Amino acid sequence: MGVPPSPAPPVGRAAAAWGLASGAVDDFFDVVHRQRACRSFGTDPVDDADVERVLDAATFAPSAENRQPWVFVVVRDERRRAEIGALTRRAWEEGGRAHSEGRLAPGLLAEVDAGARGGVSSAPVLVVVGGDTRLGDARVLEASIFPCVQNLLLAATALGLGSSLTTLPLVFGRELAAAVGLPDEVRAMAVVPLGWPARPLSPPRRQPLADKAHREVYGAGWPPA
């Protein structure tokens, strides 16, 4: 049996309309059950203090040999965001969409489509997450970066900020690196938008734990303890 998600709280401007200070979420398990991709943002600014809290949480992730190879470039500049947005749109229109059509459920396809065509880059902040290849073994670079990205996403959710893990712009990794001045040794690995959600997000859709877990040996299923 899965744990039923708590109803999504109003967020951003919607939270304000409900008379709440913010869409912040306190309980860790509520944060986990509410974290999901946001691809449509309002225009309200995101304070540097909030960006810093989110990035600080990201840096508390585990990494191979504790080498902490993460690099964050926080992009607020409108032209630079548009440049990254154009790479995302190009990656989608020149192959991403064709690859995803028929693979994604229509609702998700429509969300990714709107995100790739400008929703994601409309966020007031884009965080380009890089992995420094000088810090540790290349074979575990990705495994050392994505825990930090997950911390980043959870911290954003805890503050009521919308975010999403995007990789589409990596199709044009060299252009993305050039847009934010990454040296050759730092590989761009994700772009995470941060902003106040344009509308409240519905709860994430996930398959039940019983479909994924096994007691002792694979295939035993997850009968009640």
Q: Strands of 125-132's sheet, edge to edge?
A: 70-75, 125-132, 186-195, 162-163
What Rg value do the Cα atoms of the chain yield, rounded? 18
Can you tell me which of 20, 165, 173, 222 binds ligand FMN, judged by CB under 6 A? 165
Can you tell me which of 42, 115, 124, 197 binds ligand FMN, judged by CB under 6 A? 115
Binding status of residue 89 toward ligand FMN by CB under 6 A: no
Residue closer to ligand FMN, measured from CB, 113 or 132: 113
Binding status of residue 168 toward ligand FMN by CB under 6 A: yes
Residue closer to ligand FMN, measured from CB, 134 or 205: 205
Binding status of residue 100 toward ligand FMN by CB under 6 A: no
Residue 42 CB partners (closer than 8 Å, separation 6+): 12, 13, 195, 196, 197, 198
Residue 101 CB partners (closer than 8 Å, separation 6+): 109
User: CB of 116: closest distance to ligand FMN in angstroms?
Assistant: 6
Q: Show the CA angle centred on residue 14, arms to residues 10 and 19, nearest 5°.
A: 85
Rounded distance, CA 66 to CA 19, Å? 43
Q: Which stretch binds ligand FMN (CB under 6 A): 7-15, 66-74, 165-173, 207-215?
A: 165-173
Q: Which stretch binds ligand FMN (CB under 6 A): 32-40, 44-52, 58-66, 155-163?
A: 32-40
Rounded distance, CA 68 to CA 47, Å? 25
Beta carbons of 68 and 132 less than 8 angstroms apart: no
Where in 43-72 is the site for ligand FMN (CB under 6 A)?
none
179-208 footprint of ligand FMN as x/- string (CB under 6 A)? -------------------------x----
Residue closer to ligand FMN, measured from CB, 112 or 129: 112
Residue closer to ligand FMN, measured from CB, 108 or 143: 108
Residues that bind ligand FMN (CB under 6 A): 36-37, 39, 108, 112, 115, 164-168, 204
